[in-house]
């Protein structure tokens, strides 16, 4: 991703008021911090303000002192803020089924340092991707599930998430519908990826359905999960044109590529604190 090396990130959100940009940038200036990237947005429909700044601190910078000093200024604006150091790698759990393309892509980007995270575990309802996962030195939890065992299996899933201290769960083509109870627990910090076709083809073999209708675009959507199946707050979307010469196998192949890229971008935006959630909607500051 685009984050400059050795930079900190401050993100903040508050009701819209005069001086919201100034309170952040002025404090950075007074703290002798050089801003390398700055994004802000005022949503006139919700009356909410959002700001994200990457900055390079001066000599002797202390994150704890910075937080303590900014807290009373933020309180004056009812501002909630977060400070992220450059070496912070959030603990992550990935959930998969049998398809390996998204998992393989995430593992590769993690291995080369493109996604700054600590993958603590991979959970799957099938044994197929154990070898790939363990080759990367990551624990693999095979937790089979059926209609009769769903409650027990989800309890095991939740145990792994808690034991690893995960701050982000990535559903990298996990082909099971999560229960409302687990969706509620993961709401706002679990990212899902799925195909995005127009019109929407639901059920089995969606790309074959799309082929028969002669679609001209295939795509993918990455979003935070909630209790509305595949309708959570959207982080990223990707599309690619196709035509009459693309058979179902071609559509599937292009769909896999788009899913990988779209999911990786969504995860990257989340890790870089570029995504804000409010009232079921996202604000995403693109790099």
H helix or E strand, kind and range, residue 38: strand 34-43
| In this structure, CATH architecture of domain 91-284 | 3-Layer(aba) Sandwich (3.40)
In order, the DSSP letters of 44-61 are TTTTEEEEEEEEE--TT-
Q: DSSP assignment, residue 231? A: -
**Tens of pLDDT along 195-252?**
887 777 777 888 898 889 899 999 999 999 988 777 899 999 999 999 999 999 999 9
The answer to whether 8-84 and 91-284 have equal CATH topology is: no
Q: How, if at all, do strands 8-15 and 48-56 pair? A: antiparallel
pLDDT value for 10 = 98
- Give pTM, 2 decimals: 0.94
The CATH class that applies to domain 8-84 reads alpha beta
What gap in Å lies between CA 220 and CA 240, rounded to an integer?
Answer: 9
pLDDT value for 3 = 67
What gap in Å lies between CA 234 and CA 246, rounded to an integer?
Answer: 28
- Give me the tens of pLDDT residue by residue for the chain, a chain 287 residues long: 456 778 999 999 999 999 999 999 999 999 999 999 999 999 999 999 999 999 999 999 999 999 999 999 999 999 999 999 999 999 999 999 999 999 999 999 999 999 999 999 999 999 999 999 999 999 999 999 998 999 999 999 999 999 999 999 999 999 999 999 999 999 999 999 998 877 777 778 888 988 898 999 999 999 999 887 778 999 999 999 999 999 999 999 999 999 999 999 999 999 999 999 998 899 999 99
pLDDT value for 196 = 84
Query: Per-domain residue ranges for the chain?
Result: 8-84, 91-284
pLDDT value for 184 = 93
- Catalytic residue check, 59: no
Say how many CA atoms lie within 13 Å of 265 toward its Cβ.
Answer: 19
Q: Looking at 43, 128, 230, 250, which residue is catalytic?
A: 230
């Amino acid at each position: 991703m685009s984050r400059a090396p050795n930079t900190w990130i401050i993100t903040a959100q508050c009701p819209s008021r005069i001086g919201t940009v100034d309170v952040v940038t002025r404090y950075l200036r007074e703290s002798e911090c050089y801003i390398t990237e700055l994004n802000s947005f005022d949503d006139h429909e919700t009356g909410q303000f959002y700001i994200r700044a990457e900055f390079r601190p001066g000599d002797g910078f202390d994150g704890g002192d910075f937080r303590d000093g900014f807290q009373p200024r933020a309180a004056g604006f009812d501002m909630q803020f977060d400070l992220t150091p450059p070496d912070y790698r959030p603990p992550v759990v990935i959930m998969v089924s049998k398809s390996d393309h998204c998992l393989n892509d995430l593992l590769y980007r993690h291995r080369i340092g493109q996604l700054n995270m600590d993958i603590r575990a991979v959970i799957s309802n099938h044994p197929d991707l154990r070898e790939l996962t363990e080759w990367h030195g990551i624990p693999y939890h095979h937790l089979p599930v059926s209609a009769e065992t769903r409650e027990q299996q989800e309890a095991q899933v939740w145990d792994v998430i808690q034991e690893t201290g995960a701050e982000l769960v990535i559903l990298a083509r996990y082909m099971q519908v999560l229960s409302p109870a687990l969706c509620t627990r993961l709401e706002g910090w679990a990212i899902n990826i799925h195909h995005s076709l127009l019109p929407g083809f639901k059920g089995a073999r969606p790309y074959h359905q799309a082929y028969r209708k002669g679609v001209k675009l295939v795509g993918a959507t990455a979003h935070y999960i909630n209790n509305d199946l595949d309708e959570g707050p959207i982080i990223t979307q990707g599309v690619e044109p196709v035509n009459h010469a693309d058979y179902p196998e071609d559509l599937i192949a292009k769909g896999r590529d788009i899913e990988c890229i779209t999911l990786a971008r969504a995860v990257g935006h989340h890790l870089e604190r570029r995504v804000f959630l409010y009232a079921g909607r996202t604000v995403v500051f693109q790099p």
